[in-house]
Structure 1
Amino acid sequence: MRHATDRIWSTIANNHQPNISSHIDHPIRQAGYPPDQSTDETNSTRDKPDYPSLPKPDWLRGYAQLVTDRVSEGWSCYMVTILFSQLPGSRQAILHRMRDEVARVYSTLVTDVHRKPKNARPGQLPVLIGAFDLPVYKVDRSNAPPVRCNGGLHLHTLVLIPPSARLKGSLVDYFQDKQDLYVRLDKPIQRIHVQPIVDGHDRVVDYMFKNVLRRRLSYDDALVVLPRSRTEL
């Protein structure tokens, strides 16, 4: 039986892209990690995830604190997962192109959050914290074929929206209404998933950085934080 939270997912698909088999691990339910039984994880992997048991570095605790502090101040928090079509070149070249696309997404979003973002105070702008990710082995993947594009690289981010945002409705509604701005024939973003996160934020941060903790991706390669400077607005 599907949970009610499944119905709040927004999927923005690029219908102009080739039919590429690309499915990610269903990231986070509304209550945070671990996912519920409607995901493809078995009881053994769901009850005993390996990444939360790894030592948490200071930087990971810092990101979790940043997120929980914003939420306690009334900010809205969403998991935004981005899938890309196949890109040419080495992994570094692919990551560079993906980062450019994430910057495009952010620079488009920020103007709808604040009318004059270059003149806004930092507390009036959305915050994006994320990490590139790779598929994780599951005992039962019958319902989740792996991401086949770009060696499995995809992106999980937490997007924090300030209470002063001029958005009408939730970020889920926003991406549904504005999908033509983000998923376009001339751009490599293939699909965007958006889901509200209302609690368990520290565990969501753990989830995003699991492959950094496992050393499958380096911190420098995986990390995405926006905005870094006014020029990115």
Structure 2
Amino acid sequence: MTPTPLMNLSRSDQINQLTGGYGHIALDLVAEGWFPYLLVLKFHHLGGRRNTVIAQMHREAERAHRWLCERVWRNASAPSRRPWTPRWILAPDYPVAKGTKVSARSALRDLVPNDGLHLQGLAVMPPGGRLREPLNEHLGPSGARYCPRGGPLLSLTATPITSDLGYVHTYNFKALMRGRASFDDILMLPRSSTELDSKPRPAEDPWRHPVLVRERPRSQT
């Protein structure tokens, strides 16, 4: 059956299709032996309008991703390495204050850089490569080695995902679902999806939360 063009769908259906499409990228890679993590990027205060702030965050995420690729593979930009490049699927995110009064939330925003806006999503790491430790151990508690002094990036952390990858991925898109983010705010790294064959494919309707099942990693050196 031919997928319905996104422009002909409602916003909720568009979100369902895009979220599911990106989710299938991660699920397919994990089925091939890749390793999933919840990735969180927090930033120092960034000036300007929201779209300018998001652009700065995207640039910093690209820089950090590029540095990571160089640690995972020697000659990371070589064509033979491109299919094995770590994948990041990031979306804007805001802290959720449950059971907090409006006045308290407003006071909290005054103390948190960028009103709490940060990037959050999946990092899927390939098997093999030069990075022998898990991503969370490599980054450490704050990812300081990826956060140059005086730069915009405050911290970069990773948490292994051991179950319910689909739910975690969908939850990362909650700002998009709540109308606090746009489709252009979503960042897939590396950007060159055509070269890496990682363009989101249409999701199953409806997008469900598959249970994460690990398989034996396939070695690639």
Q: What is the rounded CA distance, in whole Å, between the counterparts of 1:167 and 1:190 in structure 2?
A: 23
Say which is worse superposed, 89-98 or 179-188, in terms of deviation: 179-188
Matched residue SS, 1:130: strand
Which residue number in structure 1 is paired with residue 86 of structure 2? 126
Deviation at 1:116, TM superposition (A): 1.1
Distance 1:198 1:123 in 2: 23
Check whether the contact 2:143–2:157 (CA below 8 A) recurs between aligned residues: no
TM-score relative to the length of structure 2: 0.71
Q: CA deviation digits over 1:138-191, x for unaligned, max 9? A: 12599xx66721122111021111112221110011112994431232211112
RMSD between aligned alpha carbons? 2.4
- Report the equivalent of 1:108: 67
Percent of aligned pairs sharing the same letter? 31
Query: Tell me, which stretches of 5 or more residues in structure 1 are unaligned?
Result: 1-53
CA distance in 1, matches of 2:159, 2:83: 22
- Contact (CA 8 Å) 2:139, 2:157: kept in 1 or not? no
SS in 2 for 1:202: helix
Equivalent residue in structure 2 for 1:89, among 48, 51, 56? 48
Aligned to 2:128: 164
- Indicate which of 150, 153, 159 corresponds to 2:114: 150
Q: Is 1:70 the equivalent of 2:33?
A: no
Q: Which has the larger radius of gyration?
A: 2
TM-score with structure 1 setting the length = 0.68
What 5-or-longer segments of structure 2 have no aligned partner?
Answer: 1-11, 194-221
| Contact map agreement 2:42 2:119 (CA 8 A) in 1 | yes
Question: Is residue 226 from structure 1 mapped to residue 189 from structure 2 by the alignment?
Answer: yes
Q: May I ask how many residue pairs the two structures share in their alignment?
A: 174
2:101 aligned with 1:138: no
The alpha-carbon deviation at position 192 of structure 1 amounts to 2.3
1:107: Cα distance to partner?
A: 0.6
d(CA) in 1 for partners of 2:144 and 2:113?
22
Q: Whole-Å Cα distance in 1 between the matches of residues 77 and 149 of structure 2? A: 29
User: Would the alpha carbon gap of residues 177 and 58 (structure 1) be closer, same or farther in structure 2, given more than 3 Å must change?
Assistant: closer
